[in-house]
Structure 1
Amino acid sequence: MKPLLLVDVDGVLNPFGRPNGDFRRYLCTIGADSYTVHLNVRHGARLMELALKTRSELVWATTWEHSANEWIAPRVGLPRLPVVPMEPKRPSERGESFKTPCVADYVDRRPFVWFDDHLWAADEEYLRAHQGVDDFLLVPVDPRHGLTMRHLAAAERWLTLSGFNQGRGQER
């Protein structure tokens, strides 16, 4: 079973702080709403490299849902990715993010790393108690700065040390 690399957009690929010169500004229009995003094309290459090195599958875990494939992926150099469906908000059970139950339902016992700027102890507690969730690593990202090499290195280290996909049979 291929591990999953779950990627959020806002606060992760689109930092809220003042972006440095590596970021380019875009105006994205989804329906009647327009958004300004700051994206770094290097993020796409780094995520793809991580996925290839660790034999993992990149997946959007963002409220942008399929719009991430239209607006974000081509601007950072990613292909179309699968999307975690973000159902309407459910009441929180433990104080977890509204996205956490959606992720828990999506992973189907596959190991995963989740890059997000809204990950707390309540999210980890929810995931540990949820049927269908086994091994995972939550990588909280500071939304002022977004995804860094440190986050990617932590994910690579965890996936490598955990030995997912090494010497195993069929991949999903």
Structure 2
Amino acid sequence: MRPLLLVDVDGVLNPLGPLSADFRRYRCPLEGPLGSEVYTVHLNHRHGTRLLELALRTGAELVWATTWEEHANEWIAPRIGLPRLPVIPVGTAHGTTRGEMFKTPGVADYVAGRPFVWFDDMIHAADDAYLRAHPGVGAFLLVQVDPRQGLDQRHLDLAAEWLTLSGFSQGR
């Protein structure tokens, strides 16, 4: 089974701390259930290239796991050089049962036994426990990203190493 690389936006691709010169500021007007809102995001075009390289090297499929949901394809992907990606419906409707993040049940349902790496700034031990106990969730690696710094090469290397050493890499 082809492994998955699940990617969050805020705190991962859009860090909250001091930014390097590689980041560019964007204003994104979005329509939502409560009307129109304008979000400011800071994105690094190198993130797209690095994620695509990781996916190619490991044979993994990139997937959005973010509250931006389909908006990530409209506003984030083109600004960092990613194609349209599948989107995990995460919303906020899921209740938590073990203290897990609201996105975790949606992720558990989506992966359907496929091995995955999840880059997120809000994953913790309760998410790990939820995923381990959920039927249909296979092997996974949770990569917690510091929201002040965002995704960096260490996170990508960790994912590549885990996928390769675990035998899930289908690299080309």
TM-score by length of 1: 0.95
C-alpha displacement of 1:165: 5.1
Percent identical among aligned pairs is 69
TM-score by length of 2: 0.95
1:91 equivalent in alignment to 2:95: yes
C-alpha displacement of 1:90: 2.2
Q: Deviations over 1:7-64 (max 9, x none)?
A: 0000000001121101000000101110000000000000000000000000000000
User: Number of paired residues?
Assistant: 167
1:66 equivalent in alignment to 2:74: no
For the 8 Å contact 2:92–2:103, the answer to whether it is kept is no
C-alpha distance in 2 between matches for 1:87 and 1:9: 14
For 1:141, the equivalent position in structure 2 comes to: 145
C-alpha distance in 1 between matches for 2:130 and 2:9: 22
Task: Give RMSD over aligned pairs.
Answer: 1.2
SS of residue paired to 1:43 = helix
User: Match for 1:55 among 56, 59, 64?
Assistant: 59
C-alpha distance in 2 between matches for 1:78 and 1:166: 20
- Equivalent AA in structure 2 for residue 155 of structure 1: A
User: Match for 1:109 among 110, 113, 116?
Assistant: 113
C-alpha displacement of 1:158: 0.1
**Structure 2: segments with no counterpart, 5+ residues:** none
For 1:20, the equivalent position in structure 2 comes to: 20
C-alpha distance in 2 between matches for 1:120 and 1:34: 29
C-alpha distance in 1 between matches for 2:170 and 2:86: 23
Q: Deviations over 1:85-124 (max 9, x none)?
A: 1144222111000000000000000000000000100000
C-alpha displacement of 1:126: 0.2
**Structure 1: segments with no counterpart, 5+ residues:** 168-172
SS of residue paired to 1:65 = coil
